[in-house]
Amino acid sequence: MKVFELTFKVYLLKNIQSNIALVKIAELIDNSLSHNDVLIEFHNANKFKNYSFNSLFKIEEDHIYKEGNIYSVKIRTVDDRLAEYFTINLAHEYTDYIKGLTIDCRVLKKKLIEKVYSITPTIIKTEEGYWQGKLTLEEFENRLKENLIKKYNDYFGTKIDENFDLFHRIELNNRKPVASSYKNVKLLGDKLTLYIDENEIAQELAYFSLGTGIGEMNARGYGFMNYKCF
């Protein structure tokens, strides 16, 4: 398994508020996928997409990304074919808000991971919405682990033994839920830090999560994780 990281330079054609930046980036990626019949089917299918991305960088103090400026986006995936497609096609893509410029691809080296932490909010939904007040912290932790295992099993066509510790410590790094806008709905998520166990499968899943993201809605930009090695 390899995690591919693409550094995507973009030019803004209009101002973008920070709370809708992920939506606008997702629109650009969706446009790119729509040019390929196989990837249209992939995009429309109710399945794990196995890629994640962060928001525009550098961050603007007034929370408005500026028309006429160049920003970068990190896109990661464990799917080599998807990485190749994005590398060839994304730089030529555009919407009313964003124009692609250049894209470079590298493979993240596997190292012993101490922790992974959210760059974009991590989403875990319940039937009643945001998890706090609906799930205990232990249930929330289990949902994070189960979600990641499902992605891994689905991608590799396997069923791993779930009797292991994925992380031994979790931190919620926001005092209150982080709000984002998606399809006229306010989504609430969290910035997390997970301290990864040193057992083999925990390390494998932590590396995998750098490509797929943690939690739900990763192909909409949520749960994009960075990492620190020992």
pLDDT of residue 180: 87
pLDDT of residue 77: 98
Q: How far apart are CA 229 and CA 51, in angstroms?
A: 21
pLDDT of residue 40: 87
User: Hey, which CATH number is domain 3-108, 3.30.70.1890, 3.20.10.10, 3.40.190.10, 3.30.70.1560?
Assistant: 3.30.70.1890
Cβ–Cβ < 8 Å for 117, 225: yes
Helix (H, G, I), strand (E, B) or coil at 123: strand
Considering just the CA atoms, what is the radius of gyration of the chain in Å?
17
pLDDT of residue 181: 83
220: tokens are: 């909409």
Q: Which one has a higher pLDDT value, 35 or 108?
A: 108
Place of tokens 């998606």: 182
| pLDDT exceeds 90 at position 12 | yes
Q: How far apart are CA 181 and CA 205, in angstroms?
A: 29
Q: How far apart are CA 74 and CA 67, in angstroms?
A: 20
Number of C-beta neighbours around residue 218 at 10 A: 28
Write the pLDDT tens digit of every residue in 164-217: 999 999 999 998 999 988 888 889 999 999 999 999 999 999 999 999 999 999
Closest to 115 in 3D by CA, of 207, 5, 218, 211: 207
pLDDT of residue 186: 87
Say whether 113-229 and 3-108 share the same fold: yes
pLDDT of residue 183: 82
pLDDT, averaged across the chain: 95
Percent of the residues in the chain that have a pLDDT greater than 70, as a whole number: 100
Amino acid at the residue 151: K
Q: How far apart are CA 210 and CA 198, in angstroms?
A: 16
Closest to 226 in 3D by CA, of 91, 87, 128, 122: 122
* 181: Cβ contacts below 8 Å, ≥ 6 apart: 19, 20, 23, 187
Cβ–Cβ < 8 Å for 121, 191: yes
Q: How far apart are CA 32 and CA 146, in angstroms?
A: 31
Percent of the residues in the chain that have a pLDDT greater than 90, as a whole number: 88
Mean pLDDT of the region 6-13:
98
User: Hey, which CATH number is domain 113-229, 3.30.70.1900, 3.60.150.10, 1.10.287.3510, 3.40.50.2020?
Assistant: 3.30.70.1900
| pLDDT exceeds 90 at position 3 | yes
Alpha carbon distances (Å) from 164 to 16, 156, 168, 201, 228: 43, 19, 11, 8, 21
On the 0-12 / 13-18 / 19+ scale of CB atoms within 10 A, 221 is buried
Domain locations in the chain?
3-108, 113-229
Q: How far apart are CA 47 and CA 87, in angstroms?
A: 23
pLDDT of residue 67: 98
Write the pLDDT tens digit of every residue in 20-46: 999 999 999 999 999 888 888 888 888
Write the pLDDT tens digit of every residue in 41-76: 888 888 999 999 999 999 999 999 999 999 999 999
